[in-house]
Amino acid sequence: MNKSERFWDKTASHYDQIERKDQKTYLQIIQLSKTRFTTSDVTLEYGCGTGLIANEISEDVKEIHAIDISSNMITIAE
């Protein structure tokens, strides 16, 4: 496990609390994304963290692949 992965694994449990402080930006990203995707799109989110955005747009696309360096972040996203 490299240094970056260890950092993000430690951060995973409280990452959403930190990011929700800027909830307005997340809502804007989600709404803009929803206008760009179609239900036939296959989408990749690289660095998905805990899946805040991926989970919100997953019903708007055919398939989404959400990846992250941190296995703890992926566990929360699932």
Could you tell me if 42 and 62 are in contact, meaning their C-beta atoms sit under 8 angstroms apart?
Answer: yes
Would you state the pLDDT for residue 54?
94
Would you state the pLDDT for residue 39?
95
CA-closest candidate to residue 11, choices 56, 57, 47, 58: 47
Could you tell me if 65 and 47 are in contact, meaning their C-beta atoms sit under 8 angstroms apart?
Answer: no
Distance CA 34, CA 54 (A): 11
CATH number at residue 17: 3.40.50.150
Q: Token digits for 67? A: 């990846």
Domain that holds residue 66: 3-77
How many folded domains does the chain comprise? Answer: 1
Q: Token digits for 8? A: 């993000």
pTM of the model: 0.82
Mean pLDDT by 10 residues, the chain (78 residues): 92 86 87 93 95 93 96 95
